Structure 1
Amino acid sequence: MLRLSKKTDYGLLALQYLANEAPSGVASARAIAEKYDIPVELLAKVLQHLARLGFVAAQKGAHGGYQLARPAATISLADIVEAIDGPLAITACGRDDDQCDQYGSCTVRDPLWKVKDRILTVLQTTTLAEMGDGGDGRVPVAVSVARAEAT
C-alpha cells in the first residue's frame, strides 16, 4: 500500500495548522500535538527538521512556538513530503540507493514510474494553502488506463 510516513503525516498536519488555524500564525509543538492527539516528542522533532530546512521559523520566549517561514501558497506538498521522507519512490529501483536483481528484465518498472510521476505531479501542484481552502480535501486527478486486448 502506498502511504506517507507518520513523520510526513504529522508534518503536513502541523504545517496546515500553522497556515490556517494557529492564532496569529504561531503555535507550539505541544498545542499542535494536543489538537491532533499525536506524540509531542515526535512532532517536535519533525518541526525542528522543518525549521532547519526553512519551512518554519522557531520563536523563543513565553509566546514562542513555530510559524511558517514563507507563504503557504509557495509550499507544495511535494516539498514537504520530500523534505521529510526523501524522494518519492514506489519501487525499490525508484531510489538511487536501491537496486533490484530484476532491473534489466523488469516489465513493471516503467509503468510504475509513470504512476509515481503522476503522483508527484499532483503533490507538486498542490500547495499547503490549498489544503486549508475549505474544500472537501480532494484533488482532481486525470487518470487514463490502457488495457491490453485479449488474444
Structure 2
Amino acid sequence: MLKLSKKADYALMAVNHLARHYGEGACCARDIAQAYGIPAGLLAKVLQRLVRKGLLHSQHGMNGGYTLAKPPLFMSALEVIHAVDGPVMITSCITARGECFQTPLCTVKEPLRRVNERIVNALNSLSIAEINA
C-alpha cells in the first residue's frame, strides 16, 4: 500500500495550520502539536527540517514560532513531502541507479515509472492553499 510517512503527514498538517494563520504572525510548535495530537518532539524535528529546507521561517523569543516562507498558493504538497521524506518513489527501481536483479526481465518498471510521474505531478500541482480550502 502506498502511503505517506508519519513525518510527511505531520508536516502537511503543520503547514496547513500555518496556512490557515498566514499573515497573522507566528504559531508555536506546542500549539500546533496540541491542536492535532502530534508528539511535540517529533513535530519540532519536522518543523526544523522545513526551516532548513526553506519552507518555513522560525522566530525566537516571546512571540516566536513558525511562519510559512511563501504564500500557501505558491507552496506545493510535493515540496513539503520532499522536504521531510526526500523524493517520492513508489518503488526503488524507477530511478536511474535503482536497479534490481529482475531488471532485464522486468515488464513493470516503465509503467510504474509513469505512475510515479503522475503522482509527483499531482502532488506538485496541489498547493497548500488548495489543501486548506
Same fold? TM cut 0.5: yes
Residues 15-74 of structure 1 deviation map (CA, whole Å, 9 limit, x = unaligned):
000001478142111110000001000000000010011111001111110011111111
Which of structures 1 and 2 has the larger relative contact order (alpha carbons within 8 angstroms, sep 6+)?
2
Is 1:32 aligned to 2:68, yes or no?
A: no
Partner of 1:122: 122
Aligned residues: 133
Structure possessing the higher radius of gyration over alpha carbons = 1
Which runs of 5 or more structure 1 residues have no equivalent in the other structure? 134-151
Q: Is the 8 A contact 2:22 2:68 kept in 1?
A: no
Partner of 1:18: 18
CA apart distance, 1:96 = 4.9
TM-score w.r.t. length of structure 2 = 0.93
Moved over 2 A (4+): 94-99
Assess, with a 3 A threshold, how the Cα gap between structure 1 residues 43 and 96 changes in structure 2: closer, same or farther: farther
Q: Is the 8 A contact 1:18 1:25 kept in 2?
A: no
Higher helix share: 2
TM-score w.r.t. length of structure 1 = 0.82
Q: Which amino acid aligns with 1:32?
A: I
Which runs of 5 or more structure 2 residues have no equivalent in the other structure? none
Counterpart CA distance in 2 for 1:46 and 1:87 is 16
Q: Is the 8 A contact 1:19 1:25 kept in 2?
A: no
